[in-house]
Amino acid sequence: MQTTSGGDASTKTIRAVLDGCADCDTCRFLMEESCLFFPELYRLYDEEKEHRRTVGEKDLRRLSELCTLCGLCPCPDIPMDVIRGKTERVRQYGMPRRIRWLADVQTFGQMGRIAPRLFNRLLAFAPVCGMVRKAMGIHPDRRLPALPAESFFDWARRAGLDRKPDQGPKVAYFAGCSAGYLFPEVARAAVTFLRNNGIAVYVPSQQCCGMPTLVEGNRKTTLGRLGANLRTLLQAVGEGFTVVCSCPTCGFLMKVLLRQGAYFSNAYQREVGAGPDEIKVPDESRGGDGFVRLKKNLYPQLLKDDAYFSGFDALERIRLSENVMDLGEFLARWYKDKWLSVRFGEVPGRMVYYAPCHQREQKIKTPYLDLMQRIPGLAVASVGSVMDCCGMGGSLGYKQEFYEESIRLATPLIEKIRAAAPDAIVTDCLSCRLQFQHLLPYPVYHPLELLARGCEGLCGGSYWLKNKL
């Protein structure tokens, strides 16, 4: 089997992934229905082997587009190697304008909030919509989200949430771009539920978490936005705030990707007093309480801080990632400590809950499911397995060239939801929400919307009335 090919650094990086996974072969069957990347990788490999058709640069570029960084594959290095290959490609050749636009929800949301009604009216006008789709490479059948009358960030400013509360239990809420610009009702539900449980909410100035641009190989924008968030959020942490995210993808980036490699850094090793021949890393099995000791010379190439975000200070990365919580995880902890009010009003309905990939990758189980099961009248059951995928993959489901694959990948999960015929679907991922809204006739909610509605009796019904759940 070929181990490298000619071509640029990007091609060589993706080719090395192809060779490694082809030799291993584990994911040929394991990932057959759960990911678009591996079936294409083995198809290319088989064609090359059986028909002597060389895998070219174009094939490898297309292959790299199919990884959405869902984190499911057994080797965490694989998706990050793919991102490295894409990043090298963008560094060398630049990024096509249509991809730059498509992967930039923040800029789209900021532009749209100036005149959302006009924006929606223009997009409803077929010739304009067609031009936009063409310019951005969006498939003609993909449903486009409408902009809300007011973004969450504007609402939060009007509500005075950009001012730091000085007392009481308090959180800094990182809403993310999807809830901030597209689904403000989700972010308002988060605020409603937190406040009705006596928790003061501060909405700091925030940039996109960086995931959409990271996945497309746009390193400069990703690092610029992450750097700005790092400064603001660390300041909030220093002032006693817990940072919470209602978007599992923002949480995955700040909790999991941000600290990759950071524990191997010299700064961290000095801080934890590691001996000259050892590397000390937190013992995850004991919840970070205690260390695993590794021999320094065993894996010198692996035990170093050279991950995607290693340009940022390792101790700052660790500090932020250890102080960010998924909002469901935060609420579950409050509930366990008996601080959370669970006097819910009735929310009638039979719903299914889909736990998204980036929640799974945070290894926090399904905290929202446990909380929702305490709402009287609400029958909510888990749907789909860890191997199921909504198929949206961030912007992949919008792209003209991958739309069909996006729908195909989603099909097993969509069939399970159809078989359950629920009154509504619940998921904390707003990218999954867009796909479910596109393919299914059921309303889709974030768990926080149901929790906010459940505590309606405590908050005078204002959330229920305003958001017409």
- CA 239 to chain CA centroid, nearest Å: 26
Tell me if 27 contacts ligand SF4 by CB under 6 A: yes
69 binds ligand SF4 (CB under 6 A): yes
Write out the two tokens for 323: 């102080």
Residue closer to ligand SF4 by CB (options 81, 329) is: 81
Q: Which residues inside 36-65 make contact with ligand SF4, applying CB under 6 A?
A: 37-38
68 counts as binding ligand SF4 under rule CB under 6 A: yes
79 contributes a contact to ligand SF4 by CB under 6 A:
yes
**Residues written for the chain:** 469
Q: Is 22 left (phi over 0), alpha (psi -120 to 50) or beta?
A: alpha
CB of 215 to ligand SF4, least distance (A): 10
**Residue window 335-374: x/- pattern of binding to ligand SF4, with contact defined by CB under 6 A:** ----------------------------------------
Q: What angle do CA 101, 426, 358 make, to 5 degrees?
A: 55
CB nearer ligand SF4, residue 15 or residue 113: 15
Residue 96 Cβ vs ligand SF4, minimum distance, rounded to whole Å: 21
What minimum distance in Å lies between the beta carbon of 105 and ligand SF4?
Answer: 20
Q: Nearest to residue 395, comparing CAs of 212, 247, 222?
A: 212
Under 8 Å between Cβ of 315 and 259: no
Annotate 116-141 with three-state secondary structure.
HHHHHHHHHCHHHHHHHHHHHCECCC
For ligand SF4, the closer of residues 70 and 390 by Cβ is 70
> Per rule CB under 6 A, is residue 451 in the interface with ligand SF4?
no
Q: Kindly tell me the sign of the dihedral angle through the C-alpha atoms of 72, 78, 82, 87.
A: positive
Residues 414 to 443: which contact ligand SF4 by CB under 6 A? none
* 14/81 Cα distance (integer angstroms): 7
Q: Quick check: 24 binds ligand SF4 (CB under 6 A)?
A: yes
Q: Which stretch binds ligand SF4 (CB under 6 A): 70-78, 123-131, 269-277, 380-388?
A: 70-78
What CA–CA distance (Å, rounded) separates 405 from 396? 9
- Regarding 413 and contact with ligand SF4 (CB under 6 A), the answer is no
Which residues of the chain form contacts with ligand SF4 (CB under 6 A)?
20-21, 24, 26-27, 31, 35, 37-38, 67-75, 78-79
